[in-house]
Amino acid sequence: MPAGVMIPARNMPSMITGNGSVSGYGTSSGLTLGQPNNVMEGQLHPLEMTQNASESEIARMRDEEFDSTNKSGSENHELGGSGDDQDPRPNKKKRYHRHTQHQIQEMEAFFKECPHPDDKQRKELGRELGLEPLQVKFWFQNKRTQMKTQHERHENTQLRTENEKLRADNMRYREALSTASCPNCGGPTAVGQMSFDEHHLRLENSRLREEIDRISAIAAKYVGKPVVNFPLLSSPAPPRPFDFGSQPVTEEMYGVGDLLRSISAPSEADKPMIIELAVAAMEELVRMAQVGEPLWMTSLDGTTCMLNEEEYIRTFPSGIGPKPTGFKCEASKETTVVIMNHINLVEILMDVWSTLFSGIVSKASTLDVLSTGVAGNYNGALQVMTAEFQVLSPLVPTRESYYVRYCKQHAEGTWAVVDVSLDTIRPSPTVRCRRRPSGCLIQEMPNGYSKVTWVEHVEVDDGGVHNLYKQLVSSGHAFGARRWVSTLDRQCERLASLMASNIPTGDVGVITNQDGRKSMLKLAERMVISFCGGVSASTAHTWTTLSGTGADDVRVMTRKSVDDPGRPPGIVLSAATSFWLPVSPKRVFDFLRDEHSRSEWDILSNGGAVQEMAHIANGRDPGNCVSLLRVNSANSSQSNMLILQESCTDPTASFVIYAPVDIVAMNVVLNGGDPDYVALLPSGFAILPDGMTVTDVGMADSGGSSGSLLTVAFQILVDSVPTAKLSLGSVATVNNLIACTVERIKASLSCDNA
């Protein structure tokens, strides 16, 4: 039986009910609403309200502003004065020049085609209508302000209506859940034993909470009321210390964590400096992406570009300041062509990039949106963000960063997205990583392809890295540009396979049902994201090192799963270890992903033969695929268990990630059903080069001298009762499981290597 079983299992609720319907494990959350405010074009009369102003005063201010704006749409001051000029005779009534109906109609028609005319267009329009260019300029400024005010008034009404509706729904759900009773005994419903409909509502609440958070900030701005945070339906239990009874253990907390937790959205005073920094960073990124020597020097093996730091300081003397004492510079540049339209690529990088790069980004959030862009796209978009970058091993501390992201279109078919740290604006003694202008230049290519030039330039204190990974990190292969573009290329191929419609039907096991393919790939994506989010030395994880076990420094951590969608309820124990192997990453990857050699290392399959039932190809490399495996075991208790596995590889990293799944649940998924209700506890392997090779970043042939860094990680449900106390026997069982797996892998690959 594959990893993920209960040790021991006590009253674990079935994921599938007797009639075949799927019962899930949902999240319990309330509804709160907020959205970052969009940066608005310069207004003649900006509306500024304090929370102390009464609603009648606010309404009067808003009406006066609206009347003034409407009036300015058809009236202009006499030529020679602007809205900002001061009349030397304040008691003298200003004269107004009323435009004719013909002039207004002509300017209205021109406004529909071009709301931002340039100097030449204003002069030409003024000549045709008998107006001065300055009068035309004022009319267009006032017209834009008028349109924006009308749009915001309408949008605010809609948002308030939606806010009230969601609030009423939330209260109705809370009341229904608080009075829920068991249909069998009539007693209150226990946590983790909810119905399918209740679980669906909880998932919807979880999704709506984010949406409402984005909305209520806007509503609060215009209504003059503070944002109200509703309490969670079921507050998560506070984390408890890891209890092993009398067993002495050593706890190690990697990373700082205080940096990201202490950072809030930027103040109004900071925003001009942030914009100025972003514009300068964009100019620097584009130049660094386009130039070669002497700024970029090719390595001796001809595979990477190295930054000439002296030339960089001469070329870009300004910026975010000198390198902090004790920090090291990591800079690299890489270019590739990916199978994705340049517009879609920009949208992904500005929206869901943390899921696209789940192997590199452990978590990311947007603190503020200073600009959403213009013309309906991301041209000019500015976002203030935080992120945590990782290597999939508990031996490498994550890198936290607080930065601004700026997107700009430079020419037709050419875009750039740049990140630059904001620690100069908000200094922090806990900063261990600074992002100098980093990002990518995206150029349109024929047939829906895009050329991507990625620049990664950071200054970092890597003193906490374990000796096993020091060479990989210092060489730049762990966090460098090649890692980013290789991951991007592989993910673009994965997305292309998701959209493919011409699936060959000749091969046995190929899933041709389009809805089934999408559901299975969505489930596999969630499995990979869950695995990547629980392996690294993230600041959210407290790993406990088990001493005196004879294993390769096994680290464990525990968490309670109560209202976590996609995970069975109970106590989940995670165990991970990293070690070096004297064989190439390619050979390790091929060995671990092959179902025929699985019995050599998978202890929980009890030596049963593993057969591939179905698969979905995810790119050109045959190693990139999602598979559904069956364990042919003599043990009848495992007859209803399948293994969902995704294997993926690129020149910088490889992964084999799997989780046991129920046959009935997978039948629902393969028929196009919603995969969110399938509970997963993923385990697997992260395979990285050791950084010592000078050829193809560790992906040499079997005759090469490169070695591999292998991380083995398991997630085990040790008790289905969330309130149960973790037993020392469960920890020992999981520790023996991972230690035996490591020994089997070493023995098999050593024999194979000999």
- pLDDT grade for 620, boundaries at 50, 70 and 90: confident
Smallest CA-to-CA distance from 642 within 16, 13, 7 is with: 16
In one letter, which amino acid is 462? D
- The C-alpha angle with vertex 306 and arms to 301 and 311, in degrees rounded to 5, equals 140
- The one-character DSSP state at 406 is E
Res 165 pLDDT > 50: yes
Separation of alpha carbons 11 and 721, rounded Å:
8
- pLDDT grade for 47, boundaries at 50, 70 and 90: very low
Res 498 pLDDT > 80: no
pLDDT of 82: 41
pLDDT of 640: 58
User: How much is the average pLDDT of 288-293?
Assistant: 88
Mean pLDDT is highest, among 252-256, 399-403, 628-632, 718-722, for: 399-403
- pLDDT grade for 558, boundaries at 50, 70 and 90: confident
Going from the N-terminus, what domains does the chain have, and what CATH number goes with each? 104-155 (1.10.10.60), 269-498 (3.30.530.20), 508-694+705-751 (3.30.530.20)
User: How much is the average pLDDT of 546-560?
Assistant: 68
Smallest CA-to-CA distance from 741 within 718, 710, 720, 719 is with: 710
Range in 76-80, 172-176, 616-620 the model is least confident about? 76-80
Which comes out higher in pLDDT, residue 628 or 564? Answer: 628
pLDDT of 230: 36
Separation of alpha carbons 121 and 126, rounded Å:
8
Smallest CA-to-CA distance from 610 within 628, 587, 625 is with: 628
pLDDT of 391: 92
pLDDT of 72: 43
pLDDT of 49: 34
Res 711 pLDDT > 90: yes
pLDDT of 186: 57
pLDDT of 306: 82
Mean pLDDT is highest, among 382-386, 669-673, 703-707, for: 382-386
Separation of alpha carbons 488 and 511, rounded Å:
25
Which comes out higher in pLDDT, residue 258 or 13? Answer: 258
Range in 304-308, 389-393, 507-511 the model is least confident about? 507-511
Separation of alpha carbons 626 and 661, rounded Å:
14
Res 125 pLDDT > 80: yes
Res 57 pLDDT > 60: no
Q: What is the CA radius of gyration of the chain?
A: 30
pLDDT of 360: 92
Which comes out higher in pLDDT, residue 226 or 427? Answer: 427
pLDDT of 450: 94
* Averaged pLDDT of the chain: 74
pLDDT of 176: 75
Contact 397, 257 (CB under 8 A): no
Range in 29-38, 183-192, 614-623 the model is least confident about? 29-38
Q: Burial level of 310, CB count in 10 A (0-12/13-18/19+)? A: exposed
- The one-character DSSP state at 293 is T
- pLDDT grade for 507, boundaries at 50, 70 and 90: low
- The one-character DSSP state at 676 is G
Separation of alpha carbons 439 and 443, rounded Å:
13
pLDDT of 197: 55
Res 506 pLDDT > 70: no
| Residue ranges in 570-662 assigned as alpha helix (H) | 585-593
List phi, psi (to 5°) of 98: -85, 125
- pLDDT grade for 13, boundaries at 50, 70 and 90: very low
Res 12 pLDDT > 80: no
Contact 586, 699 (CB under 8 A): yes
Q: What are 227-280's pLDDT values in tens digits?
A: 334 333 333 333 333 444 333 333 333 333 445 555 777 778 888 888 889 999
> Residue 55, CB half-sphere, CA atoms under 13 Å: how many?
4
Contact 752, 606 (CB under 8 A): no
- Between strands 328-338 and 305-307, the pairing is antiparallel
Say how many C-beta atoms besides its own lie within 10 A of residue 251's C-beta: 11
User: How much is the average pLDDT of 435-463?
Assistant: 92
pLDDT of 20: 39
Res 712 pLDDT > 80: yes
Type and span of the H or E element at 532: helix 514-532
